[in-house]
Amino acid sequence: MFNYNTLKKILFSFEPETAHHIGEFGLKLLGNCKIAKSYMEKKNYISNPKLTQEIFGVKFENPVGLAAGFDKNATMIKAMKSLGFGFTEIGTMTPMPQDGNPKPRMFRYPEQKSVQNAMGFNNLGAHTVLKNLKKVYPFSIPIGANIGKNKTTPEEFALSDYKTLIKKFEAFSDYLIINISSPNTPNLRDLQNEKFITELFVMAKELTNKPILLKIAPDMEANVAIDLCKSAINAGADGIIATNTTIDYSLVPNCQNFGGLSGACLTEKSGSLFKEIARELFGKTVLISVGGIYNGKEAYERIKNGASLVQAYSGLVFEGPSMVRKINEEILELLAKDGFENIQQAIGANLK
């Protein structure tokens, strides 16, 4: 019988970025085929009152979402429910189209179930992505829009890029994410400072009433990360997403010395920083955990540590299209085992 292990062998015979394009082609076909889409949704999508939450005034039927970076141009949204995701995030989009960094810029490490990318915000630009988004929004699951500045935009004009993007995408997304934590745009992480973050969120809240979240990197001391998150929240941020990819190359033997690592190698580092942030900020803002989540046990631990939602991406490469269903099924089992009637009772349980 044809299963994901068979497909994985075929996909892994291709260079990773090529394999991603093949996957995108397949998911676009799936999204436009009603019979196949309906079949996959019934198989993978879990809608259960025990997992349902209302966040930002929006209904999330399960807590597992797709992280940014997979669907950069909003071309695969229609297939996301078929993969089981309770919400999806597109981007990162920049105002102008951008080719990204030179190839090869994506690498897989099967033994570590990890991926390394140095893509550099390659995307078709805000105008084209918005056209794609308008075709599907509003969608049956929430959509987040992840936005970043163009590589050629100097730091002193970065606010202008984010202003342009907020104005474009706020009406066609359920929430927005400020990305200043990718390691693949030169000097972008330099914007992770209290002054810029404060200016950015003050401006953003003047432009829209849509929820706006900050996504942070895992490669800083916990006290620095907490201070940055507090600055964002004080300036109006509606939530924190922790974390982006890491530039700690000690996590994978013989990896490249550029780009960001994600997948299982990031589990401990991301989970540890998230836990520190949640100790300070749980109950004060919405917390979303991402980084090395590919099974229900890890997802549930992040939830008990304060995450209302979790996200996955690299795990899909190794686990395949049944991954999200399995995560949600395991969360339901763990909720029952701990005697919780619903996910809200589990969120932050380790902190209470």
Query: Tokens in use for 4?
Result: 């994901």
User: Residue 304 in contact with residue 335, Cβ under 8 Å?
Assistant: no
Please tell me the distance from the alpha carbon of residue 238 to that of residue 352, in angstroms, as a whole number. Answer: 22
* Residue 70: other Cβ atoms inside 10 A: 21
Amino acid at 142: P
> Does 24 fall in a domain?
yes
Q: What is the CATH number of the domain that holds 84?
A: 3.20.20.70
> Does 351 fall in a domain?
no
User: Residue 238 in contact with residue 174, Cβ under 8 Å?
Assistant: no
Active site residue 182: yes
> Does 121 fall in a domain?
yes
* Residue 163: other Cβ atoms inside 10 A: 16
* Residue 250: other Cβ atoms inside 10 A: 9
**b vs e for 208-228, b when ≥16 Cβ sit within 10 Å of the residue's Cβ?**
eebbbbbbbbbbbeeeebbbb
pTM here is: 0.98
User: Active site residue: 114, 181, 182, 289, which one?
Assistant: 182
Alpha-helix runs per DSSP H in 216-266:
222-234
> Does 352 fall in a domain?
no
Q: Write out the chain's pLDDT in tens, 352 residues.
A: 468 999 999 999 999 999 999 999 999 999 999 999 999 999 999 999 999 999 999 999 999 999 999 999 999 999 999 999 999 999 999 999 999 999 999 999 999 999 999 999 999 999 999 999 999 999 999 999 999 999 999 999 999 999 999 999 999 999 999 999 999 998 999 999 999 999 999 999 999 999 999 999 999 999 999 999 999 999 999 999 999 999 999 999 999 999 999 999 999 999 999 999 999 999 999 999 999 999 999 999 999 999 999 999 999 999 999 999 999 999 999 999 999 999 999 999 999 8
Domain count, the chain: 1
> Does 132 fall in a domain?
yes
Query: Tokens in use for 189?
Result: 């992480």
> Does 290 fall in a domain?
yes
Query: Tokens in use for 99?
Result: 């080719």
Query: Tokens in use for 47?
Result: 């809608």
Q: Which range marks the domain in which residue 231 is found?
A: 4-346
> Does 207 fall in a domain?
yes
